[in-house]
Each structure stands twice: as C-alpha cells, then as structure tokens.
Structure 1
Amino acid sequence: MPHLPDDDAWLLKERRAIGDRIRVTRLRRDMTQESVFLAARMSRSAYQEIEAGMADARVSTLWKIARVLGVHVTDLLHD
C-alpha cells in the first residue's frame, strides 16, 4: 500500500490551492468577492472561508463558483 501524506496537512494544502485558484481567477476577471458570492447565492463568510482555504466546499458550491467565474469546475481543482 502506498504511503499517503498526513491527511490534515494534505487536505489543508489542497484547500489552499483551490482557494488560490478561485482568487486568481476572480482577480483576473476583475471581480470582487461580493460579486462572486452574491451571484453564486452563498453567504459572504462561506465564500471567504473557501477562498482562504479554510473550509471544504461541496461540489455543487464549486460548480456555482466556477459558473460565476466563467470557468469549468476542473479549472478550480487542477493546476
């Protein structure tokens, strides 16, 4: 069985990477956090936690964010 990295450290790293991709995409489109979370119909705090890499996002939430940002959801999951 392959050795897996520490789950907590690995998940934190992945959450931060997704949040970074969301933030970079948002800024490239000259959008504010407010414009994204309002269009995605989610709370400010939930959006900010996802973008900061501090919270897990449901797949449906990532789909909504990706749609608002005009990208495919896989763009938020992969480099």
Structure 2
Amino acid sequence: MPTLPDDDDWLLDEQHAIGDRIRVIRIRQNRTQESVFLAARVARSTYQEIEAGTVDARVGTLRKIACVLGVHVTDLLHG
C-alpha cells in the first residue's frame, strides 16, 4: 500500500495546483471570483483561499465550485 510522504510539501503543492486549475478555468470563462463564489454559495474568503492554494478545501466545496464552472470535480483535482 502506498504511504504518504514524511513532509507536508506535497499537500501544499496539491492545494496550489487545485487553486491554479480553478483560476485558469474561471479566467477562460471570463468570470470574476465574485460570480463564482456567489453562485457556489461559498464565503468570499474561503473561495479566495482555495484559489490561492492556502487552504485544504473540502470535497463538498470543490464540488460546488466545479458545478458552477461546468466541470467535473476531477477536473479540479487532476487537471
């Protein structure tokens, strides 16, 4: 069975990658952060932290964001 790395750098890298994917999709759709967090019913600060990659987002929150952006949640996770 695979094991997790000893440090948390991999988690931080993944958080940033997810945030980058969200930002790229949002910008391609010519949407503002506000239009996405309002439609997803996510707090402004939470959305901004997710997109900045500074928080480990809950799956439910990522599903809401993915739905608003018209993509599958796996597109945010695996790009």
Pairing of 1:1-79 with structure 2 (within 5 A): 4-79=4-79
**Identity across the alignment (%):** 76
Q: CA deviation at 1:7?
A: 3.2
Q: What are structure 1's unaligned runs of at least 5 residues?
A: none
Q: CA deviation at 1:4?
A: 4.6
Give SS of 2:8's match.
helix
Give the partner amino acid of 2:57: A
Q: CA deviation at 1:37?
A: 0.3
C-alpha separation in 1, matches of 2:62 and 2:41: 12
Give SS of 2:41's match.
coil
Pairs aligned (count): 79
- After alignment, is 6-15 or 46-55 more displaced? 6-15
Q: CA deviation at 1:3?
A: 6.9
Q: What are structure 2's unaligned runs of at least 5 residues?
A: none
Q: Structure 1 residues 4 and 31, CA, compared in 2 at 3 Å: closer, same or farther?
A: same
What is the CA RMSD across the aligned residues, in angstroms? 1.5
C-alpha separation in 2, matches of 1:39 and 1:59: 17
Q: CA deviation at 1:70?
A: 0.5
TM-score, normalised with respect to structure 2? 0.92
Regions of 4+ moved over 4 Å? 1-4
